[in-house]
Structure 1
Amino acid sequence: MATEAFEEIAETFDFLEDWEERYRHVIDLGKAMPPLEEAFKVPATKVDGCASQVWLLPEIEGSGARAVFRFRGDSDAMIVRGLIAVLMALFNGLTVEEVLKVDAGGELARLGLNEHLSSQRSNGLRAMVQRIRETAAATAAAA
């Protein structure tokens, strides 16, 4: 299950011929993303397990399993900002119940990210997905 925004990214990746172009596209996605305000760059929003500084700010509309999940994020590394933008495309606008059903690894594999990210970046990406899933699960359980 992927959002329309994520499908657009996947289609663009299919069109781009080599990983270098795809890498640039991910960076461009990050550059296009508005920065997270400094007031939100606090320990509560910081994601542990990332080599660079990463902050994810959940913005949940509603409560329980039908709550709509959105988040904003930022990083001090341009490629990671791009990865945050990809995750936003994958998850934003879904209900928290739907977020928990997304096969993030499978969807991201469609982009070829697994083969082209360093192990540290891959670990950081997994940590971001884990934070998203934990936030969605906590929201769903609060019904």
Structure 2
Amino acid sequence: MATQAFEEIAETFDFLDDWEDRYRHVIELGKAMPPLDEAFRVPATKVEGCASQVWIRPVIEGEGGGARFDFQGDSDAMIVRGLIAVLHALYSGLSVAEVGRVDAPAELARLGLDQHLSSQRSNGLRAMVERIRRVSAEVAAA
């Protein structure tokens, strides 16, 4: 159920031999993301449960289950910013109904992230996924 953008990341990870190269690639993905405007770095967009400062601002186009999901995000940590970019590739452009059907742990496991992130980073990643799923479910139910 992954998007084409996520599949491209997965293919790149398959090509990269070691975790150091993958880690650098995740950081590069984060550097390529546009920064989140300071006006959106507010408590309402802050993701709790992350060791770093993380903000996710949903951008929904349309209404109900067919609404298209997108988001802007940012972090004060480069690796986390890269993880936000990976999640953006995983979810952006899906309908809010489809977002709920993405098996994020399985998709992220394809990248080996589950084996190489600290427990704090893994908890933060889960918190970001939960936030995305919750927002999408709220829109789909409306």
TM over 0.5: yes
Distance 1:109 1:71 in 2: 22
Q: Give CA-to-partner distance per residue, 1:60-101, whole Å, 9 cap, x none.
A: 000100000000100000000000000000000000000000
Give the CA deviation at 1:18: 0.1
Letter of the structure 1 residue corresponding to residue 52 of structure 2: S
**Pairing 1:8-23 to 2, within 5 Å after superposition:** 8-23=8-23
Distance 1:136 1:36 in 2: 20
Identity %: 77
User: Who is 2:70 aligned against?
Assistant: 70
Distance 2:25 2:66 in 1: 33
Distance 2:8 2:122 in 1: 22
Q: Is 2:137 the counterpart of 1:137?
A: yes
Q: Is 2:36 the counterpart of 1:40?
A: no
**TM-score normalized with structure 1 length:** 0.99
Q: Is 2:23 the counterpart of 1:30?
A: no
Q: Give CA-to-partner distance per residue, 1:32-56, whole Å, 9 cap, x none.
A: 1010000000000000000000000
**Pairing 1:75-114 to 2, within 5 Å after superposition:** 75-114=75-114
* Structure holding more strand per residue: 2
Q: What's the secondary structure of 1:11's corresponding residue?
A: helix
Distance 1:78 1:34 in 2: 13
User: Who is 2:125 aligned against?
Assistant: 125
Letter of the structure 2 residue corresponding to residue 100 of structure 1: G
Letter of the structure 2 residue corresponding to residue 68 of structure 1: R
Distance 2:17 2:7 in 1: 17
Q: What's the secondary structure of 2:72's corresponding residue?
A: strand
Give the CA deviation at 1:122: 0.1
Structure 1 runs, 4 residues or longer, greater than 4 Å off: none
Give the CA deviation at 1:12: 0.1
Give the CA deviation at 1:121: 0.1
User: Who is 1:57 aligned against?
Assistant: 57
Distance 1:56 1:46 in 2: 6
Q: What's the secondary structure of 1:101's corresponding residue?
A: coil
Give the CA deviation at 1:138: 0.2
Q: What's the secondary structure of 1:50's corresponding residue?
A: coil
Aligned Cα root-mean-square deviation (Å): 0.2
